Amino acid sequence: MKAGNPSGGKVERRTRGKGIGMEVSICIPTKNGGEQFRQVLEAVFHQKTDRSYEVICVDSGSSDGTLEIIRSFPEVTLRQIPPEEFGHGKTRNLAASFGTGTYILFLTQDAVPASDSWLEQMIRAMETDERIAVGFGIHYPYPDCNVLDRRDILNHFQGFGRTNTVYRLDDPGRYEQDAEYREKLAFSSDNNACVRRDVFTRYPYPDVEFAEDQIWTRQMMERGYSKVYCPYAAVYHSHNYPPREYARRYFDQYKGIQELRGGKVIDGVSAAVREAKQQIRLDIAYVRQQPLNYSQKFRWAKYVVHRDLARYRAAWRAGRYPDRSPAGRDRMDRKYSQQYGQRRGAGGKASTMVWNYRDLWDYGRELALATTDQGQTAHVEEEYGFVLNTEEIPFCRADFEAHRDDPNLIVNWVIPEPAKGSGGHTTIFRFVSALQRRGIRNRIYILEPKLIRSDREAAVFLHENFPLLDEGVEIRCGCGRMEFCHAAVATSWVTAYYVRRFMNTVSKFYFVQDYEPFFYPVGSESKFAENTYRFGFRGITAGDWLKTKLEREFSMACDSFHFSCDPEIYRVKEKRDAVRRVFFYARPSTARRAWELGLLALIRLKEKMPEVEIVFAGGDVSRYHIPFSYRSAGVARPEELAELYSQSDISLVMSITNLSLLPLEIMACGGVVATQDDENNAWLINGENAIIIDCDPVHIADALADGLAHPEKLGALRENGIRLARGTDWETEAEKVYRSMVRGVAEDTESRRTE
């Protein structure tokens, strides 16, 4: 490749970083990217990395303000070319030629990096082997992505692995015989891909209309290079095309696939019809399984038929394409090709909404944990092999003797990887900090982290997102270097399997905040979780219901603590208006929050009292059809939640397993709680301080309507709730946990001395 200006277009070059020689060149072809493209650039320039990088945009005729967006970022180098000179391969070659980075990171104008570690994660993956020519990262669907594309995108990328995975052509015989194997080795997507400059300079992209990234990757694999898949370097990228536009896109896609395969994907009309019928059946079955109402399912079923017919019609047309004359192929391109239209100004958008990159980063972290946890693997041993692992990490008598008379205990907390805003982690860190203030030396070990890659990253993430965590607490990424302690603490059922193996401790505790077997359908995972209560750990439970349950059903020795709330955040505020308002803690991703039950109740309530305002917070509800107007705060900060509680007449909070922290926090704000009449709530909540409801949507709606119609009843409940909340104190509860640990370690130390 040679840098230059063959078209005579305008070049605007700016610099960023540590000097002329950059480590990374980020290359983005643009045309009418719109406001979403601004979010792409903002996300790129908010990456956390010590590496020098530059951003190069090659624009092919934008007319919508994209050029102004680029120029508003002084660090970006802008190159302009006429629309007719655009080509997926040659335009990226040109962009790369204007950079100096050792690595060339390709991105598209509608692909927003899903975290502030996107760049760092991609380059780290590339650095693992000097024979890696290309790396590519996962795509996440935007929150408004249609149900079928969402499924297809996640399933496709999960097939490449759950962690960084290197691919190489190590089976030539299979490569010759197995088309699927060839396609998997060839796949890469320069919507989000990185290439090594020294390789790319020798072998630039081919000048083709589609699949330039996959054709090039195939060529590199055949030359003996490797590729790496990095699920930690994620971007948001999805489209909501109508069926006609899908047909044009699929026409180009199947032409590219045929180039890779060296043969037709669909040969003949009968094959296209047969494949379409089979796909329609599968897709309609999938739609039926979704949490949608009847009208939504009917609408998506119609969409399935149109989309799948368009897809396989396009595949059939692509199969006829090579047999046409040059003039005939040109006519087909004009009529059926999306790429042909895009060069002339047509084309779909990435998303129907403009998403703020910071909101996407919050959502992306939850999605990353969910997708990497669930995966699409059939390897049960890989997924649950830790259940079988009983290889002990041995007790060291020398460590014990060296620390036996320490005036301060050492406590190792083993936690699952946290997500921003995790209530369970917040409670753990609250007690860890309280113990630290009492002289205990605490260490936090994150078990098998998927996104956090170092001790430094772990410390930065925890202190940024959980500011209550004491600065003196030691934080470790992974448990491979876990040291001797007086007490090892499991904090979830998965971590309990590791603590069971860790013998270099005096005592083992189980910090139980909920009854985790209830998190799953009755089956393997519920039993895996249940078995951990038989490991012989000392229990410290959130509330008396859990304490009694574990003692009675598993003979587990337990102490308990109660809940409180932060009075600096959760405090009484006067309601500022006369609007009757119901808040619902809506978290569809968490089954125990009974989203469906609560929503049905609110639908019924709105039929009875249409003037009532409904407010949601807790999670993303955008993919659900909600047949009334509402406000949604999504994943809100504690201060935002406190404001919502204080301005709502009733707060509906469902927690089908153990009681959560929310009821006390709501009461402390002067709100009235409505929650279900279950044994797990009775240790704190009753009819004197809350509206007690049955787990029936009709009863819930009637109870809410009755409360709204009788403000004097709400007033009495409000006063009792405030009194209950003010009578609690986190320091009192922390003292209980402290005494439990000190007593348990003292008793077990005596046992160790006599061994």
| pLDDT tens-digit series, residues 625-679 | 889 999 988 778 889 999 999 999 999 999 999 989 999 999 999 999 999 988 8
pLDDT score of 2 more than 50: no
Q: Determine which of 1-15, 171-185, 520-534 has the lowest per-residue pLDDT on average.
A: 1-15
pLDDT tier for residue 473 given thresholds of 50, 70 and 90? very high
Question: What are the boundaries of each domain within the chain?
Answer: 11-236, 243-342, 392-561, 581-728
Name the E strands within 374-459.
Answer: 410-416, 441-447
**Residue 378: count of CB within 10 angstroms of its CB:** 7
Instruction: Provide the pLDDT for residue 338.
Output: 65
**More confident of the two residues 650 and 291:** 650
* Residue 662: half-sphere exposure toward Cβ, Cα within 13 Å: 28
pLDDT tier for residue 258 given thresholds of 50, 70 and 90? low
- CA dihedral (583, 589, 590, 591) positive or negative: positive
Rg, C-alpha atoms of the chain: 29
Mean pLDDT of the chain: 87
CA distance 140 to 101: 26
Q: Determine which of 262-276, 434-448, 504-518, 588-602 has the lowest per-residue pLDDT on average.
A: 262-276
Instruction: Provide the pLDDT for residue 377.
Output: 37
Rounded to 5°, angle at Cα 139 from 135 and 145: 165
Reduce the DSSP state of residue 327 to 3 states and report it.
Answer: helix
> What is the domain class of 11-236 according to CATH?
alpha beta
Question: Which range, 171-180, 322-331, 543-552, 680-689, has the best average confidence (pLDDT)?
Answer: 543-552
Give Cβ neighbours of residue 511 (< 8 Å, ≥ 6 apart).
413, 428, 431, 489, 490, 491, 540
pLDDT tier for residue 171 given thresholds of 50, 70 and 90? confident
Instruction: Provide the pLDDT for residue 329.
Output: 73
Q: Determine which of 2-11, 68-77, 111-120, 318-327 has the lowest per-residue pLDDT on average.
A: 2-11
CA distance 207 to 442: 58
CA distance 154 to 176: 28
CATH number for the region 392-561 comes to 3.40.50.11090
Asked whether 105 and 27 are in contact (CB, 8 A), the reply is yes
Does an H or E element contain 483, and which?
none
Region 697-714 average pLDDT: 96
Q: How far is CA 527 from CA 285, 497, 518, 650, in A?
A: 30, 13, 10, 37
pLDDT score of 256 more than 70: no
Instruction: Provide the pLDDT for residue 531.
Output: 98
Is it true that 392-561 and 581-728 share their CATH fold? yes
Region 479-487 average pLDDT: 94
* Residue 642: half-sphere exposure toward Cβ, Cα within 13 Å: 16
pLDDT score of 261 more than 60: no
Region 3-12 average pLDDT: 36
pLDDT score of 351 more than 70: no
Greatest CA separation for the chain: 92
pLDDT score of 65 more than 50: yes
Instruction: Provide the pLDDT for residue 751.
Output: 82
Region 330-344 average pLDDT: 66
CATH architecture of 581-728: 3-Layer(aba) Sandwich (3.40)
Q: How far is CA 495 from CA 92, 366, 432, 520, in A?
A: 46, 19, 17, 17
Instruction: Provide the pLDDT for residue 369.
Output: 64
Instruction: Provide the pLDDT for residue 3.
Output: 32
Q: Which conformational region is residue 347 in: left (phi greater than 0), alpha (psi within -120 to 50 degrees), or beta?
A: left
pLDDT tier for residue 474 given thresholds of 50, 70 and 90? very high
pLDDT score of 376 more than 60: no
Reduce the DSSP state of residue 731 to 3 states and report it.
Answer: helix
pLDDT score of 417 more than 70: yes
- Express each pLDDT in 136-168 by its tens digit: 999 999 988 888 888 888 888 877 887 888 999
Region 439-456 average pLDDT: 89
Instruction: Provide the pLDDT for residue 373.
Output: 44
